[in-house]
Structure 1
Amino acid sequence: MELHESTLDVLARFERYMAHSRGMADLSVHAYMSDVSSALDFCLGARPFDSAELTPRAFRAWVATKVREGGSRASVARYVASVRLFGRWMKREGIAQVDPTLKLRAARVDETLPQTLTVDQARSLFNYLRQQTEGGDPCAIRDWAMVEVMYSCGIRVAELTGLNLSHLNAAERTLRVLGKGDKERVVPYGKPAHDALRVWIETGRPALVTDSGEQALFLGARGGRISQRIVRGRLESACASAGVPVISPHGLRHSAATHMLEGGADLRAVQDLLGHSSLQTTQRYTHVNARRLSAIMNQAHPRA
């Protein structure tokens, strides 16, 4: 990408506007700058900046190119949002007489969110799971700990079953999680999950493990690493027995995200916690005011 110096000057002004006048986060500024730079490269190339060349047709052609390159609907929606902000800014600054992106639209992003629980329903589920451990059944203790961890951390079922003992830092109440694309992140968990994990590791896991070298945090009835299928089945069974809507692990993850955002958690922080690569994915829930990730568990999570 070789943009003319005059175009780079306009981009620099736009970047300052986003960072200072709008107070956008650094990652958001970077994403918008990348999108707008791509659009200007498509429309202008190395020619001097000329707003007259930035026509609605030119921007539509750029978006169409992104679609042909395999961009997802969510990605294309972000591209459109980026250049529309740029178009409004150009008109406001007098760089362009009209906003060339005014009628630019992205295809609607179809999202079907899974069944979720209310906070009260989640509380009923955890009360039921806790009660089932009173007889000392190691599988019941495991189920309690697994569901507490999935909800507290908002992790995927594949991330849960992939956890090893070495991924747990009980002193700091964090887990090292390997997510999609082998991306590693460290997530905090609340006191209820901490209590359940302590009981599982001290009494439940030793009763199930058959190989002293087994590294998996959560085990199946035969002592090996538990499967995703078993986790799903145990969660669904627990929901039915607790008298709450039967949800999948994915639904539990969505429940956690929804409850945290309803509690006032920062959208960007929830993105980091869930391991979403795109903020667009997290934005399916709601828009919230900014707070720090380190305060999420105590300030926003209903089971912190």
Structure 2
Amino acid sequence: MSFAKLENLTAAPELKTGAQRFLSQLKTQKHYSTHTESNYYRQILRLLKFLQERDVVRWDQVKPIHLRQLSAFYHRKGLSPRSIALMLSACRSLFQFLIRDLELPSNPAKGVKAPKFDRKLPKTIDVDQVNALLEGIDEGDDIGVRDKAVAELFYSSGMRLAELVRLNIEDIDWSDRTVRVTGKGNKTRYVPVGGYALEAIREWLKIRGVWLGPDENQALFISQRNGRLSPRSIQQRLAHWGKMVGMNGRLHPHKFRHSCATHLLESSGDLRAVQELLGHADLSTTQVYTHLDFQQLARVYDKAHPRAGKKKSPSKKES
């Protein structure tokens, strides 16, 4: 990660050095994705600029009032409550690191809350649309076979884009019908893989062997240039197939993840199992899918229950 913008700041050396050490360990120790690293970088830059303008030169000078002022400052500037929550989360992680690194006495960001915001429900694809999409991917050429395996695995496992990109052939356990996934914070979990996905992967591996030749690249999904398939390439290929089958809206990897979780929860009602599958550290993160399930229930109720509609007001004649 380049620290050019951070280095150009006129903030105090101690602040810049501490921020650099924190950001560096996101990759070397936490193994965060490039996207996550960039998000943290942007948030820490905001904090440093704010502290610089208030003549704060040491980390132990930062108090909870500074973080509350930071939140209020960006709220007035029009930053969304969701983005402010992300910024404060990054600050909490930074100060937690500095407690260990510089022996700070406490975390000044702890307990500082962002403005309230309505949590957006994940966008999903219904079962019929998923089936139409997966059956609509043209397997007439080698790329189509690979893309079919990618899409089937996304929907079968509910894994994140970065997790699928990291997969190696050895991560698949064919006898157990599971795949070893390395998730956020370099945590490993094992998730089941369905028969359709395993069959699609088997067909892809036949082509992969021809593409790769004697190369020892262990990546499960590769490009025609024999390198590991990039996140951007996967996003573009899925968007392409979404258009080809006439889907409304852009098809992206997280729609498969959300759809997998929602369809499992609708069928099983087992929130804990879905939490394990998705690799959520906190059950509250998974609970967003219960709201989706409730919405479906509400729609069915409104259509089916004989007294679900609003009571009609009596007309003037009736009164």
Interval of TM-score (by shorter of Structure 1 and Structure 2): 0.5 to 0.7
The C-alpha deviation readout for 1:232-267, integer Å capped at 9, x for no partner, is 000111111012233211121111111111112410
The C-alpha deviation readout for 1:117-139, integer Å capped at 9, x for no partner, is 1111001001112xx11x3x221
Counterpart check, 1:281 vs 2:289: no
**Which of residues 211, 217, 220 is equivalent to 2:220?**
217
**Which of residues 129, 133, 138 is equivalent to 1:121?**
129
Q: Secondary structure at the match of 1:263?
A: helix
- Give 2:244's aligned residue: 241
Q: Trace 1:1-304 onto structure 2 (pairs within 5 A).
A: 108=116, 110-129=118-137, 132-133=138-139, 135=140, 137-201=141-205, 203-245=206-248, 246-286=250-290
Q: Give the Å deviation of 1:211.
A: 4.8
Contact 1:124/1:244 (<8 A) preserved:
no
- Give 1:302's aligned residue: none
Residue type at the aligned position of 2:152: E
Residue ranges of structure 2 left out of the alignment (5+ in a row): 1-63, 72-84, 90-113, 294-319
User: In structure 1, what is the Cα distance between the partners aligned to 2:160 and 2:276?
Assistant: 13
Q: Secondary structure at the match of 1:270?
A: helix
Q: Secondary structure at the match of 1:177?
A: strand
CA RMSD of aligned residues (A): 2.8
Q: Secondary structure at the match of 1:158?
A: helix
User: In structure 2, what is the Cα distance between the partners aligned to 1:175 and 1:158?
Assistant: 14
User: In structure 1, what is the Cα distance between the partners aligned to 2:253 and 2:207?
Assistant: 21
User: In structure 1, what is the Cα distance between the partners aligned to 2:201 and 2:269?
Assistant: 24
Residue ranges of structure 1 left out of the alignment (5+ in a row): 1-63, 77-105, 289-304
Please identify runs of 4+ aligned residues in structure 1 that moved more than 6 A: none
- Give 2:79's aligned residue: none
Q: Secondary structure at the match of 2:237?
A: helix
User: In structure 1, what is the Cα distance between the partners aligned to 2:273 and 2:215?
Assistant: 37
TM-score (norm: length of structure 2): 0.54
Q: Secondary structure at the match of 2:239?
A: helix
Contact 1:152/1:193 (<8 A) preserved:
yes
Q: Give the Å deviation of 1:207.
A: 2.6
Q: Give the Å deviation of 1:111.
A: 2.2
Residue type at the aligned position of 1:250: H
Contact 1:116/1:247 (<8 A) preserved:
no
Residue type at the aligned position of 1:162: R
Q: Secondary structure at the match of 1:272?
A: helix
User: In structure 2, what is the Cα distance between the partners aligned to 1:209 and 1:163?
Assistant: 16
Residue type at the aligned position of 1:161: V
The C-alpha deviation readout for 1:163-187, integer Å capped at 9, x for no partner, is 0011011111100000000010000
User: In structure 2, what is the Cα distance between the partners aligned to 1:228 and 1:265?
Assistant: 32
Residue type at the aligned position of 1:115: K
TM-score (norm: length of structure 1): 0.57
User: In structure 2, what is the Cα distance between the partners aligned to 1:175 and 1:146?
Assistant: 13
Residue type at the aligned position of 2:179: L
Contact 1:138/1:208 (<8 A) preserved:
no
Q: Give the Å deviation of 1:205.
A: 1.0
- Give 2:103's aligned residue: none
The C-alpha deviation readout for 1:111-164, integer Å capped at 9, x for no partner, is 2234321111001001112xx11x3x2211110001100110000010001000
User: In structure 1, what is the Cα distance between the partners aligned to 2:122 and 2:284?
Assistant: 17
User: In structure 1, what is the Cα distance between the partners aligned to 2:134 and 2:196?
Assistant: 9
User: In structure 1, what is the Cα distance between the partners aligned to 2:273 and 2:176?
Assistant: 18
Residue type at the aligned position of 1:175: V
